[in-house]
Protein backbone atom coordinates (compact mmCIF):
# COMPACT_ATOMS: atom_id res chain seq x y z
CA UNK A 1 0.00 0.00 0.00
CA UNK A 2 1.40 3.37 -1.01
CA UNK A 3 -1.12 6.20 -0.83
CA UNK A 4 1.55 8.63 -2.03
CA UNK A 5 2.10 6.77 -5.28
CA UNK A 6 0.27 7.86 -8.38
CA UNK A 7 0.91 4.46 -9.98
CA UNK A 8 0.04 0.82 -9.44
CA UNK A 9 3.33 -1.00 -9.99
CA UNK A 10 3.88 -4.66 -10.86
CA UNK A 11 7.31 -6.26 -11.03
CA UNK A 12 8.16 -8.69 -13.84
CA UNK A 13 9.18 -11.36 -11.31
CA UNK A 14 5.61 -11.36 -9.98
CA UNK A 15 4.10 -11.54 -13.47
CA UNK A 16 6.32 -14.56 -14.18
CA UNK A 17 5.34 -16.20 -10.87
CA UNK A 18 1.64 -15.72 -11.71
CA UNK A 19 2.16 -17.23 -15.18
CA UNK A 20 1.10 -14.05 -17.00
CA UNK A 21 2.39 -13.97 -20.59
CA UNK A 22 4.55 -10.90 -21.19
CA UNK A 23 2.97 -10.35 -24.62
CA UNK A 24 0.01 -8.85 -22.71
CA UNK A 25 2.21 -5.90 -21.69
CA UNK A 26 1.40 -2.78 -23.74
CA UNK A 27 4.59 -0.78 -24.40
CA UNK A 28 4.57 2.81 -23.17
CA UNK A 29 8.21 3.96 -23.25
CA UNK A 30 7.55 6.46 -20.47
CA UNK A 31 10.10 6.98 -17.66
CA UNK A 32 9.13 7.71 -14.07
CA UNK A 33 10.85 8.87 -10.90
CA UNK A 34 10.57 8.12 -7.20
CA UNK A 35 11.06 4.35 -6.98
CA UNK A 36 14.86 4.41 -7.01
CA UNK A 37 16.14 7.53 -5.19
CA UNK A 38 17.73 9.99 -7.59
CA UNK A 39 17.29 7.76 -10.63
CA UNK A 40 14.92 7.58 -13.54
CA UNK A 41 13.30 4.21 -14.20
CA UNK A 42 11.94 3.01 -17.54
CA UNK A 43 8.66 1.19 -17.65
CA UNK A 44 8.42 -1.99 -19.68
CA UNK A 45 4.80 -1.10 -20.31
CA UNK A 46 1.35 -1.37 -18.84
CA UNK A 47 -0.91 -4.35 -18.19
CA UNK A 48 -4.51 -4.69 -17.03
CA UNK A 49 -5.07 -7.35 -14.36
CA UNK A 50 -8.09 -8.31 -12.26
CA UNK A 51 -7.58 -7.66 -8.53
CA UNK A 52 -9.79 -9.24 -5.89
CA UNK A 53 -10.08 -8.33 -2.21
CA UNK A 54 -11.91 -10.84 -0.04
CA UNK A 55 -13.61 -10.71 3.30
CA UNK A 56 -15.04 -13.67 5.25
CA UNK A 57 -18.06 -14.08 2.97
CA UNK A 58 -17.85 -11.19 0.51
CA UNK A 59 -15.46 -10.00 -2.15
CA UNK A 60 -14.78 -7.13 -4.52
CA UNK A 61 -13.07 -7.46 -7.90
CA UNK A 62 -11.95 -4.69 -10.25
CA UNK A 63 -9.53 -4.53 -13.17
CA UNK A 64 -6.52 -2.32 -12.48
CA UNK A 65 -3.87 -0.95 -14.82
CA UNK A 66 -0.36 -1.72 -13.57
CA UNK A 67 2.86 -0.14 -14.73
CA UNK A 68 5.35 -2.99 -15.28
CA UNK A 69 8.96 -2.55 -14.22
CA UNK A 70 11.83 -4.94 -14.78
CA UNK A 71 14.00 -4.41 -11.72
CA UNK A 72 14.13 -6.44 -8.51
CA UNK A 73 12.36 -5.22 -5.34
CA UNK A 74 11.22 -6.81 -2.12
CA UNK A 75 7.54 -6.30 -2.97
CA UNK A 76 5.28 -8.22 -5.35
CA UNK A 77 3.36 -5.11 -6.39
CA UNK A 78 2.60 -1.61 -5.15
CA UNK A 79 -0.99 -0.48 -4.94
CA UNK A 80 -1.20 3.29 -5.23
CA UNK A 81 -3.88 5.94 -5.43
CA UNK A 82 -5.45 4.58 -8.66
CA UNK A 83 -6.27 1.37 -6.75
CA UNK A 84 -7.75 3.25 -3.81
CA UNK A 85 -9.92 5.35 -6.11
CA UNK A 86 -11.20 2.36 -8.11
CA UNK A 87 -12.07 0.35 -4.98
CA UNK A 88 -13.09 3.44 -2.93
CA UNK A 89 -10.67 2.08 -0.31
CA UNK A 90 -9.36 3.80 2.81
CA UNK A 91 -5.89 2.73 4.04
CA UNK A 92 -4.91 2.87 7.72
CA UNK A 93 -1.12 2.77 7.89
CA UNK A 94 -0.99 2.56 11.70
CA UNK A 95 -2.83 -0.76 11.77
CA UNK A 96 -1.85 -1.90 8.24
CA UNK A 97 -5.51 -2.31 7.28
CA UNK A 98 -7.42 -1.45 4.14
CA UNK A 99 -11.18 -0.90 4.23
CA UNK A 100 -13.50 -0.72 1.24
CA UNK A 101 -17.23 -0.84 0.63
CA UNK A 102 -18.93 -3.86 -0.88
CA UNK A 103 -22.62 -4.65 -1.32
CA UNK A 104 -24.04 -4.85 2.19
CA UNK A 105 -20.84 -4.69 4.25
CA UNK A 106 -17.37 -3.22 4.57
CA UNK A 107 -14.39 -5.41 3.63
CA UNK A 108 -11.40 -5.09 5.96
CA UNK A 109 -8.08 -6.43 4.69
CA UNK A 110 -5.24 -6.95 7.17
CA UNK A 111 -1.67 -8.08 6.89
CA UNK A 112 -0.37 -11.60 6.96
CA UNK A 113 3.23 -12.32 7.72
* pLDDT single digits (tens) 104-113: 788 888 876 5
Hey, where are the domains in the chain?
9-87
DSSP code per residue over 52-108: EEE-SS-EEEEEEEEEEE-S--S-SEE--HHHHHHHT-EEETTTTEEEEEETTEEEE
Pick from 75, 102, 99, 58: nearest CA to 110: 99
**Tens digit of pLDDT for each residue in 79-94?**
888 888 899 998 888 8
Q: What is the rounded average pLDDT of the residues 22-49?
A: 80
Amino acid sequence: MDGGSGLNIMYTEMLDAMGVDRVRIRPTGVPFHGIMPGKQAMLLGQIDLPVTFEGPSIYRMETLAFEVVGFHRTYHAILGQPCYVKFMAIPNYNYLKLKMPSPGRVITIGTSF
